[in-house]
Amino acid sequence: MTTAPQPNPYQSPLLSLPGAVAGDGIDAGVAAHYGSLYGEQRTLAAGEGFVDLSHRDVLRVAGPDRLTWLHSLTTQFFEGLEPGRWVSALILSPQGHIEHAFTGVDDGEAFTAHTEPGRAAALIGFLERMKFMTRVEISDVSDQVAVAWRPAGKYDLVPREQLATYADAAGPAAGLWAFEALRIERGEPRFGIDTDDRTIPNEVGWLETGQPWAAVHLDKGCYRGQETVARVHNLGRPPRRLTLLHLDGSENRLPDQGADVVPASGGRAVGFVGSSARHHELGPIALGLLKRNVATDTPLVVAGMPASQEVIVDPEIGLHFRPAR
């Protein structure tokens, strides 16, 4: 049985900011909001402010072989990665299922990456097993380095003891609920929340299509699980597709993560809900992973609430697209 990831134990000093309300579950340790959910969303949408993500795990891969080694293990093109360019990457099972996901940047001496809260130990364990004679050193630096996010998809790595100083310069602060609402709107999946143990990259829009979170480079050499990714990409018809769900707003609640999605006409579940949030313009929204053969105009029900679909991953070719609003 898979052990549930344990949240990062480090409480953010930014929880002392006025109006801060702490998150819960794996998002404990940072602020869910600072008293104005919709106002914080509008601030971020206007290109201002920052989000405290210091509850995320951080690891560092150093050594002269780090980039060629990561290139051979992951879905991303690491060879020749220039310092300062952020990339996302996945590690897949031999069957192409997503086992690990991370985002990071190289500084010329080491690659520093962040991953979901509680996920670093398993990721580091895998990487350690794959070192062999490679000249790399892997360490968990979550106690030293914190993550922050700014609009336009920019991440910052901040010395943990300097978070308060960073906040003074980067403010105003927006909470994780605002960050999540905008993430869901743009159709960006969250590993372990919008995915399950069977998810392949083609289902959730992680292929290279110009999105800033694209994690699968389609023109690189072999890596574990590549055969599945290439076959589905070339032949089309991934088993499932990530979908933006517009929820009925008449009830003051959101569905639980993992709740079944069923046709409004009745019958068996056709998928599950991952992330959900209240958006300042769209109202209650969620990401759902649905069977590919569910018609894109099929009315759905999620946790007793009617829901309509907005396609964000093409059901035929498995590529992410997001029409301009």
Q: Percentage of residues in the chain with pLDDT exceeding 70?
A: 95
Question: How distant, in Å, are the alpha carbons of 91, 146, 261 from that of 143?
Answer: 24, 8, 39
Radius of gyration of the chain (CA): 19
Q: For 273-325, write each residue's pLDDT tens digit.
A: 999 999 999 999 999 999 999 999 999 999 999 999 999 988 876 666 554 44
The answer, yes or no, to whether residue 79 has pLDDT greater than 90, is yes
Q: Of 171, 180, 213, 160, which is closest to residue 18 (Cα–Cα)?
A: 171
- pLDDT value of residue 153: 85
Average pLDDT, the chain: 93
- pLDDT value of residue 318: 62
Q: How far apart are CA 220 and CA 236, in angstroms?
A: 19
- pLDDT value of residue 307: 97
Q: Which residues pair with 140 in a beta bridge?
A: 59
- The arithmetic mean of pLDDT across residues 14-35, rounded, is 96
Strand, helix or coil at 41?
Answer: helix
**pLDDT grade, residue 171 (50/70/90)?**
confident
- pLDDT value of residue 10: 81
Q: For 100-140, write each residue's pLDDT tens digit.
A: 999 999 999 999 999 999 999 999 999 999 999 999 999 99
Chain-centre distance for alpha carbon 322: 17
Q: For 25-73, write each residue's pLDDT tens digit.
A: 999 999 999 999 999 999 999 999 999 999 999 999 999 999 999 999 9
- Residues 89, 76 contacting (CB under 8 angstroms): yes
198 CB contacts (<8 Å, ≥6 apart)?
97
Using a CB cutoff of 8 Å and minimum separation of 24, what contacts does 69-75 make?
69/130, 69/131, 69/134, 69/136, 70/111, 71/220, 71/221, 72/221, 72/222, 72/223, 73/127, 73/130, 73/223, 73/224, 74/223, 75/201, 75/206, 75/215, 75/216, 75/217, 75/223, 75/225, 75/226, 75/229
- pLDDT value of residue 52: 98
Least confident of 6-10, 140-144, 162-166, 173-177: 6-10
Question: Structure tokens of 237?
Answer: 């018809």
Q: How far apart are CA 272 and CA 260, in angstroms?
A: 5
- pLDDT value of residue 3: 57
